[in-house]
A and B are shown apart, each in its own frame.
Chain A
Amino acid sequence: DQQVKQNSPSLSVQEGRISILNCDYTNSMFDYFLWYKKYPAEGPTFLISISSIKDKNEDGRFTVFLNKSAKHLSLHIVPSQPGDSAVYFCAASASTGGFKTIFGAGTRLFVKA
């Protein structure tokens, strides 16, 4: 039962353009969402998060949007840079679920120069 789904295994974007990575969740109890980035041979690193009381959070080139009614969140990267090429994981947690974090399968982003 995949509670957090990233339906696009990969995404290719031209340098300078916008990258949009999508994530859907099924558990309405999730109230905190995070994005992690992972380079090969390294562990994931935290990128940005959003609480369910917000619908947008921005940090530099990275913005996360949350649509609770659709149980959908997205990560926008503007402008995309070749160094952004990595696997991006969406994650969610519920304050009533023992706080364990559920991760999606990841989306591999390729930013072409």
Chain B
Amino acid sequence: KAGVTQTPRYLIKTRGQQVTLSCSPISGHRSVSWYQQTPGQGLQFLFEYFSETQRNKGNFPGRFSGRQFSNSRSEMNVSTLELGDSALYLCASSPEERLGYNEQFFGPGTRLTVL
């Protein structure tokens, strides 16, 4: 079974631009979560989607948004980029409805650099 894939792997943008990141979960997984990883901050939860519905949202500004398609693929969008948005963005999928009770399978991440 193919793992979680994320595209692109690396991205460089300038302040004020917007960016869209893509995630394809493991086949059959309906839950997709997004995390932001920065040095010293661990993985900060952005949001989680299940069957095209956002079920959970972290404490990030409205510039961060996401969606999930009927095939479970997910995208996240960041508008009006700021320098502080530079981070590794990780996508994770899970096969079960009870997200926190099951292991999540992570993709390799998208490294976003904002100049």
Contact = CB atoms under 8 A, between A and B. Distances in A.
Q: Contact size class for A?
A: 20 to 34
Interface stretch (B11-19, B70-78, B99-107): B99-107
Contacts of A94: 100
A34 interface: yes
A89 B103 CA distance: 13
B103 A34 contact: yes
Interface in A78-100: 89, 91, 93-95, 97-100
Given A43-B4, A43-B92, A102-B45, A93 B101 contact: yes
B58 interface: yes
Contacts of A100: 33, 45, 48, 56, 58, 99-100
B47 to A, nearest CB: 9
A32 B106 CA distance: 19
Q: Which of A43, A46, A94, A106 has the most CB of B within 10 A?
A: A43
B25 interface: no
Q: Which of B35, B42, B58, B90 has the most CB of A within 10 A?
A: B42
A101 interface: yes
Given A44-B106, A95-B101, A99-B101, A106 B42 contact: yes
Interface in B48-80: 48, 55-56, 58
A42 B111 CA distance: 11
Given A98-B55, A105-B40, A106-B42, A45 B106 contact: yes
A25 interface: no
A110 interface: no
Nearest to A100: B56
A42 B106 CA distance: 9
Given A95-B98, A99-B99, A100-B45, 9 more contacts: A32-B101, A45-B106, A89-B42, A91-B43, A100-B56, A101-B104, A103-B42, A103-B43, A104-B42
Nearest 10 CB-CB pairs, A to B?
A: A93-B100, A43-B106, A46-B103, A99-B100, A105-B42, A103-B43, A99-B99, A100-B56, A103-B42, A98-B56
